[in-house]
Structure 1
């Protein structure tokens, strides 16, 4: 069975959702027969490559909040991340275009290192003092994930390299009805939207495996990051979303 996950490195709920999905997968009896494929989804596709700023400032401007209120929003997300054993810095994180990161992730996929690079990039972006929007940092992360430095630099120097792959993933997400991430598609029969609890992922995997006709089981407080760059915060007035996938 194949599970496809649409996500963006800038999305905190993708970071949290990946950890929760992996816990749910670990509890699934047929986990060794599940292939996981990561797909590209840019939350801010129109953002210029060199336009990099602080996440807290972006949140304050976007939602018309004070910097203190934006920090409180980040702290709420951070508490969810930490409950999953994930590191999360609420200050000093950058926000920018993720297109180059997605292109390098496709290179990593071709070499079997996509999941490792995604983990390194998430950790650098959310937990460490490293900006994934800096090219040298991105090269270093890719090398850590087992890629050849010269090949990574070649891809970054060629704006067309893997660009079509990134855009194809994004078109497919739209066709499946995904307007936010993380978005999980199980065996092209069932879609789960948001950073759901681990046990819900286990339940969804079991139901997809059985091949039954089912209805979405998304929890009411599921959180996603949407295409305008905003990320929902359960318990803070956000609305959850869910969507089904079909072939």
Structure 2
């Protein structure tokens, strides 16, 4: 069974959702029979390459909030991430165009190292003091994931390298009706939207494996939408 996951490295709910999906997959009896493929989705495709801004400033501007309110929004997401055992910094992170990261992830897929690079990129973006919008840091991450430094550097220098693959993923997302991420598609028969709890993913995997006619499981969970909007759960709700 194939599970395809559309996500963006700039999306905190994708970071959280990946961890939750992996916990759900670990509890699935047929986990060894599941192939996971990560696909590209840009939250802010219109942002120019090299145009970065501090996340707190971006949130304040986007939502019309004060910096203090934006910081509180980030703290809420950080608490959810930390509850899943993930590191999360609320200060010192940048927001920018992620197209180059997606191109490099396609190289990593071709070399069998996609999941390793994605984990490293998420960790660098959300938990560490490393900007994923710096090409040299991307090369460092690629090497850590097991890729060749010269090949990674050549891909980043050639703006056409893997660009068609990224665009193809994004067209497929649109055709499937995905307007936000993370978006999980199981054997092209069933979709799970948002960073659902681990047990929801386990149940979805079980139903897809059985090949039944299935209906959506669970209400939509927190997700990030194209354009950069990241939904936050209401007070008292669970992410």
| TM-score strictly above 0.5 | yes
Instruction: Measure how far apart 1:135 and its partner are.
Output: 0.6
Q: Which residue number corresponds to residue 194 of structure 1?
A: 194
- What is the CA-CA distance between 1:214 and the residue it aligns to? 1.2
Aligned pairs (5 A) from 1:210-225: 210-220=210-220, 222-225=221-224
Distance 2:126 2:107 in 1: 22
Q: Distance in 2 between matches of 1:236 and 1:208?
A: 33
Counterpart of 1:163 in structure 2 is 163
Runs of 4+ in 1 over 4 A off after TM superposition: none
How far apart, in 1, do the equivalents of 2:235 and 2:170 lie? 29
Q: Which residue of 1 aligns with 2:26?
A: 26
Deviation per CA, 1:71-93: give whole Å up to 9, x if none.
Answer: 00000000110000000000110
Q: Distance in 1 between matches of 2:37 and 2:117?
A: 13
The reply on whether 1:235 has 2:234 as its aligned counterpart is: yes
Aligned residues: 238
Structure 1, residues 94-148: CA drift from partner, whole Å, max 9, x if none?
0000000000000000000000000000000000000000011100000000000
Task: Give the root-mean-square deviation of aligned CA atoms.
Answer: 1.3
Equivalent position of 1:10 in the other structure: 10
Distance 2:178 2:117 in 1: 24
Mapped to 2, the partners of 1:228 and 1:149 lie a distance apart of 32
C-alpha contact (below 8 Å) 1:71/1:90 kept by paired residues: yes
Secondary structure, counterpart of 2:185 in structure 1? strand
Structure 1 unaligned regions, length at least 5: 241-247
CA contact (8 A) 1:193 1:218 kept: no
- TM-score under structure 1 length normalisation: 0.95
Show the counterpart of 1:43. 43
| Residue 218 of structure 1, CA deviation | 2.5
